Amino acid sequence: MKKLDEDGRPAIEGDLARLVAPSVAKMLSNQGPRGAFIASPDFAEYRYCWLRDGSFTAYALDCAGEHGSSRAFHEWSAAAIEGIAPVIARALDRRAAGEPIDPARMPPARFDLSGRPVGDDWPNFQVDGYGTWLWSLQQHLERSGEKALPSRLARSVDSVGRYLVEFGTSPCYDVWEESGDSVHTATLGCVAAGLRAAASMLGAPELAERAASLQAFVLDQGRRVGRFAKSDHSQQVDAALLWLCEPFHLVPPDEPAFVETVRAIAAELDLEGGTRRYPTDTYYGGGAWPVLTASLGLYYARAGDITAAERCLDWVAERVDDHGRLAEQFGGEGRDPEHYREWLARWGPPAADLVWSHAMYVVLATELGPPPAAPDVTTKTEPIGSQQ
Ligand code: BGC
């Protein structure tokens, strides 16, 4: 039996705060002077700031009490979004004129650390990050005690809200930056969570209605099949579906279709105790991701299965290396050596330190125990900034 503290939260044995303090420090040291988080400091392809990774990272820092750092990210994001206001406006105009979507002209998934879009052929049309940003910003306002949306962020919140109303259910690349011709259930979850947050921050009931109907649509689809599916083109399970419950709270943990989804994730995506992205994943051999193992742990914690949640936490904790690094994924080289080698030849060794991996680990730890102590500055790596 787990001990409970006065608030009825489980008092975990061992010092969770000390355990994850280096990961908090890692997130802080990978934040540029303007507030962006680099996705990974050691993997060239990830030398940018993704709205998705950054928004989850800011959320983790709010969970850890590092509100100033989260705030700097949100200021940076709002400015970056302000900078692409013409891109959003033109996309909305083309929509109003009935023109088809041109993915190459849609708002980007990632920015350089100064907040400029990166002009390359990346599969940029991914709406989830915009939804996750709105959700994360509202979490920041609530958790930092600020509550009201500062007026200088309101323009970007409004423009992202309008963008998601028009394009939130369009086929686009998913959270794994793949399958651009499909409508992805996890993406719809990010959009619904974002619209709900925007509705509350802006006091805009029409956005709340839109969020509620999207939420009902996702729930209805899951119930009809008996579990949630990856997309309108694939009945596979995808571990990003976990976010529908935690952290977005769009479905309750005891929803039968969701319980069945978690059962499928645990049965089909387990790799030596960690969680893979989806069954046919081949990226670097399709290993198990700390981001997703921690997400599964978060679900278990919410569902009250603390032992299972702790098992997920331990799996991640054991993978933090002696330098405090936490990689993107583990075990792909043994699971599918051929594809692992293919990616190795293409992009070199996979990310050995992924900021988002630290983030979800910290979120799970703070869910299971008290917020981590202030980071030990001696564990910090060199602050980034040369790319700014
Ligand atoms: C993942 C994305 C992530 C990006 C940067 C990609 O490999 O599929 O979800 O945003 O890396 O970390």
pLDDT tens for 50-88 read: 999 999 999 999 999 999 999 999 999 999 999 999 999
The verdict on residue 8 lying in a domain is: no
Q: What is the DSSP string of 102-149?
A: -GGGSPPSEE-TTSPBP-S-S-----HHHHHHHHHHHHHHHHHT--SP
Domain assignment of residue 5, yes or no = no
Which residue, judged by its Cα, is nearest atom 8 of ligand 1?
176
* pTM exceeds cut of 0.85: yes
CB-ligand 1 contact for 174 (6 Å cutoff): no
Q: What is the predicted pLDDT for the residue at 273? A: 98
Question: Which is more confidently placed, 198 or 384?
Answer: 198
CATH number at residue 291: 1.50.10.10
Kindly state whether residue 24 falls inside one of the protein's structural domains: yes
What single-letter DSSP state applies at residue 271? E
pLDDT of res. 1:
29
The number of the ligand 1 atom at minimal distance from the alpha carbon of 53 is: 10
pLDDT higher than 60, residue 350: yes
| Residue 239 scores a pLDDT above 60 | yes
Residue 336 backbone phi and psi in degrees, to 5: -150, 75
pLDDT at 147: 86
Let me know if residue 361 belongs to a domain.
Answer: yes
- Determine the residue of 40, 42, 49, 52 to mutate for testing ligand 1's pocket, defined as the one with the most ligand atoms within 8 A of the Cβ atom: 52
Q: Do 51 and 84 contact (CB within 8 A), yes or no?
A: no
**DSSP codes, 177-188:** S--TTS-BHHHH
Minimum CA distance residue for ligand 1 atom 12: 39
CB distance 80 to ligand 1 below 6 Å = no
With a 6 Å cutoff on the Cβ, whether 43 touches ligand 1 is no
Q: Which residues of 4-40 are buried (b: 16+ CB within 10 A; e: fewer)?
A: eeeeeebebeeebbebbbbbbbbbbbbbbebbbbbbb
User: How far is it, in rounded angstroms, from Cα 189 to Cα 240?
Assistant: 10
The reply to whether ligand 1 has any atom less than 6 angstroms from the CB of 76 is no
Does 176 sit in the ligand 1 pocket, CB within 6 Å? yes
- Whether residue 9 is contained in a domain is answered as no
Distance 293 CA to ligand 1 centre (A): 15
Sheet strands (E) in the chain: 49-50, 110-111, 270-271, 274-275
pLDDT at residue number 254: 98
Q: What is the 3-state secondary structure (H, E, C) of 250-266?
A: CCCCCCHHHHHHHHHHH
53 lines ligand 1 (CB under 6 A): yes
For the segment 295-319, the average pLDDT, to the nearest whole number, is 98
381 pLDDT higher than 80: no
Asked whether residue 222 carries a pLDDT value surpassing 50, the answer given is yes
pLDDT of residue 371: 54
Residues 12-51 have pLDDT tens digits of 334 788 899 999 999 999 999 999 999 999 999 999 999 9
Neighbours of 343 (CB within 10 A): 17
Q: What is the pLDDT of residue 2?
A: 37
Number of domains in the chain: 1
Residue 245 confidence (pLDDT): 98
145 sits in the region (left: phi over 0; alpha: psi -120 to 50; else beta) called left
CA of 328 to the centre of ligand 1 (A): 9
Check whether 385 has a pLDDT greater than 90: no
**Residues identified as active-site:** 174, 177, 328
> What does pLDDT average to over the chain?
93
Specify the residue with its C-alpha closest to ligand 1, atom 10: 53
For residues 368 and 310, the answer to whether their CB atoms sit within 8 Å is yes
What Rg, from alpha-carbon coordinates, does the chain have?
Answer: 20
Is residue 202 in some structural domain?
yes
Closest CA to 50 of 123, 140, 156: 123
Q: What is the pLDDT at residue 373?
A: 53
pLDDT value, residue 250:
98
Read off the pLDDT of residues 223-235 as tens digits, 9 standing for 90 and up.
999 999 999 999 9
Q: Could you tell me what percent of the chain has a pLDDT over 70?
A: 91
Backbone angles phi, psi at 268, to 5 degrees: -100, -20
191 close to 214: Cβ distance less than 8 angstroms: yes
Pocket of ligand 1 contains residue 173 by CB under 6 Å? no
Residue 380 pLDDT more than 70? no
- The Å distance, Cα 349 to ligand 1 centre, comes to 15
Q: DSSP assignment, residue 99?
A: P
The best mutation among 47, 48, 50 to test binding of ligand 1, ranked by most ligand atoms within 8 Å of the C-beta, falls on 50
Whether 4 maps to a domain, the answer reads no
The two three-digit tokens of residue 29, written as one number: 């040291």
Q: What is the mean pLDDT of residues 102-108?
A: 96
Model confidence at 384, pLDDT cuts 50, 70, 90, reads: low
The answer, yes or no, to whether any atom of ligand 1 lies below 6 A from the CB of 82, is: no
Q: Which atom belonging to ligand 1 lies closest to the Cα atom of 351?
A: 12
Query: Quick one: pLDDT at residue 16?
Result: 85
Q: Could you tell me if the CB of 315 is within 6 A of ligand 1? A: no
- How many angstroms is it from 240 CA to the middle of ligand 1? 12
From the CA of 328, give the closest atom in ligand 1.
12
> Does residue 7 fall inside a structural domain?
no
pLDDT, mean of residues 187-214: 98
Tally of CA atoms within 13 A in the half-sphere of 343 that contains its CB:
18
Q: pLDDT per residue over 178-200, tens digit each?
A: 999 999 999 999 999 999 999 99
Cβ–Cβ < 8 Å for 263, 273: no
The answer to whether residue 346 scores a pLDDT higher than 60 is yes
User: What percentage of residues in the chain have a pLDDT greater than 90?
Assistant: 90
Residues in the chain, overall count = 388
Residue 252 vs residues 87, 187, 353: alpha-carbon distances, Å: 36, 18, 32
Q: How many CA atoms lie within 13 A of 213 on its CB side?
A: 8
Encode pLDDT of 127-177 as tens digits.
Answer: 999 999 999 999 999 999 998 999 999 999 999 999 999 999 999 999 999
Q: Which of 191, 276, 267 is nearest to 238 (CA)?
A: 276
- Structural domain containing residue 37: 14-387
Give 329 or 380, the one with higher predicted confidence. 329
Residue 382: other Cβ atoms inside 10 A: 8
> Where does the pLDDT of residue 119 fall: very low under 50, low under 70, confident under 90, or very high at 90 and above?
confident
Sign for the CA dihedral angle at 311, 244, 21, 146 comes to negative
Instruction: Number of helices (H) and strands (E) in the chain: give both, helices first.
Output: 14, 4
Return the best residue to mutate from 176, 230, 283 for the ligand 1 pocket (most ligand atoms within 8 A of CB). 176
Distance 139 CA to ligand 1 centre (A): 22
Secondary structure class of 10 (helix, strand, coil): strand
Ligand 1 close to Cβ of residue 207 (< 6 A): no
Task: Reply yes or no on whether the pLDDT at 387 is more than 70.
Answer: no
